[in-house]
Structure 1
């Protein structure tokens, strides 16, 4: 049972609490009742996010792996921590992470942003430190002591408060002004190629009387559902042959919940700003969107639990190029400035 209760925060500010400007058609962010966003909390969280002092040797901050100019991803196949140690998985971007209220990480091991923020500090492949050491360093810095007191009151600094501040900052990372959004608002139009890509992505060929009847379907939106282009579920997307689900090199979700049929399943990532977050997949095996589309077009590899939406698509070169063009319309340049 979750240790916290969500409350829906309205768009108007109340007292010191702060809410983000929520664009239509986004639903309201669900804020934990025990961690309402405030100006002081968000400012503290941003400072902590860019502070290498959370790592063992001071060399790695949250922003080392979540770079703003790459939509808070890092451009590497797998993350790289202290002393150049390679991590085990690709670094996901943080676009609209505050809206993704289901479990986080590729394997869903964190219940929420507050919990997620606690994991990297002690991970030997990431920040390589320990919370007692981090907390001791923070308590020794008078400006941090003052900032925590302003954000949370006269309570001792601990890892819970660090996680809460980082979560408040991450809930401000809202992207809502891509070309896709402007088309939805009726203030811009797709090119013919982007329009075809949109039709393939959303399976508009299902309408036998529509303008895209007879075109192939991409089966994309089943898992990458607007407005954040994820259904927040876990899927096996046919990356590897899995004749034996008990012998999967990276079990993903199955390693967390110990369900054999979840071995090889990973969280469906959101696709906003996806053109900025290469390489792709949980292990960073695909270096481009073209490679990703080639994989799905092939139908993937056998696994008993492979998603039924992963099957040969019959896309030709023009269809694949159209899909890539559409995915580029999900880029919000104002988000990464």
Structure 2
């Protein structure tokens, strides 16, 4: 009797595995977060696609010489940044044009890249794949390589019901994985949830933050994810004018995407070109280094003046935005281990 039931049992197991892989799963985030701006109706989260996206994220097959993966510049234990590197590093020791941004809370962002030149996370990965100094590859070549892999044929079949890799499927799988990277488990979040309390120093720093930083770095994401000129003198080596490089519109000159203040301990150096190694240097800029220009943010027309221990208090508060759970989460590691 057992031998007669065995094929049915195997079939049932495959059905259960397929259901498990293709079932839609919700994006988990705190109640005090705003609703995501990403349209999950177009590309609903599914476990199989997330797992495929994670494998692609860690696979150097996306680069021309199979040496650089997405994770090469976006390390899980560095809040998916490239800590210690001012500019991105790519194939054959190539150096990119900008600092590798941390990638978390992407479901709340409408524009991507420091200049906002990409308007949809579902196609964002094309930029580093095609960049000659980063991954230096053509997406069609990537697809050809993937279609030669038996493992990827299986993974694409589980994800899309068809074993063929396509450019669209590669992009959507990568975005699925990246959309699940949510940073919402810092001390700040625990305070919001009533599970912890700020120290007196952190509380004072919170007030300094609200007085000087919150208009651009709005809670709870700690960014509006808009664009601003924060008074940085232009880097003479890079000649980077932000959005203006693409639009050539005067109002876009020196406008760069506003990064989140979450996880700053893991994501140094700072600014679009990684010019500041420490947060003290960043605060020094806002106090003494702002360069006036026609597009300078209105909030920075007057420098920030820190009194007494306000710098130290602010730094203590910013430390509460570090998410140690995020950087140690095995679900985000290669192979989910």
Q: TM-score range by the shorter chain?
A: 0.7 to 0.9
Residue from 24, 28, 52 that aligns with 1:17: 24
- Partners of 1:305 and 1:263 lie apart in 2 by 7
Contact 1:252 1:266 in 2 (8 A): yes
Alignment map for 1:151-190 (pairs within 5 Å): 151-154=159-162, 156-190=164-198
Which residue number in structure 2 is paired with residue 321 of structure 1?
A: 312
Point out the more displaced range, 158-167 or 32-41. 32-41
Question: Are positions 1:225 and 2:218 aligned together?
Answer: yes
* Structure 2 CA distance for partners of 1:147 and 1:316, relative to 1, 3 Å: same
- Partners of 1:302 and 1:141 lie apart in 2 by 54
Which residue number in structure 1 is paired with residue 334 of structure 2?
A: none
- Partners of 1:132 and 1:122 lie apart in 2 by 10
- Partners of 1:135 and 1:241 lie apart in 2 by 39
Between Structure 1 and Structure 2, how many residues are aligned?
A: 304
Question: Are positions 1:134 and 2:142 aligned together?
Answer: yes
Give the number of the structure whose residues are more often helix, by fraction.
Answer: 2
Point out the more displaced range, 221-230 or 249-258. 249-258
* Residue 163 (structure 1) shift: 0.6
Give the 3-state SS of the residue equivalent to 2:298 in structure 1. Answer: coil
Which residue number in structure 2 is paired with residue 9 of structure 1?
A: none
- Partners of 2:144 and 2:70 lie apart in 1 by 19
Instruction: Choose 1 or 2 for highest CA Rg.
Output: 2
- Partners of 1:294 and 1:66 lie apart in 2 by 27
Unmatched runs of 5 consecutive residues or more in structure 1: 1-12, 204-218, 243-247
Which residue number in structure 1 is paired with residue 119 of structure 2?
A: 111
- TM-score where L is the length of structure 2: 0.86
- TM-score where L is the length of structure 1: 0.86
Question: Are positions 1:263 and 2:263 aligned together?
Answer: no
Which residue number in structure 1 is paired with residue 15 of structure 2?
A: none
- Partners of 1:86 and 1:332 lie apart in 2 by 29
Unmatched runs of 5 consecutive residues or more in structure 2: 1-19, 329-337
- Partners of 2:60 and 2:308 lie apart in 1 by 45
* Residue 257 (structure 1) shift: 2.6
* Residue 98 (structure 1) shift: 2.0
* Residue 88 (structure 1) shift: 0.5
* Residue 28 (structure 1) shift: 3.5
Residue from 65, 68, 83 that aligns with 2:92: 83
- Partners of 1:314 and 1:27 lie apart in 2 by 31
Which residue number in structure 1 is paired with residue 107 of structure 2?
A: 98
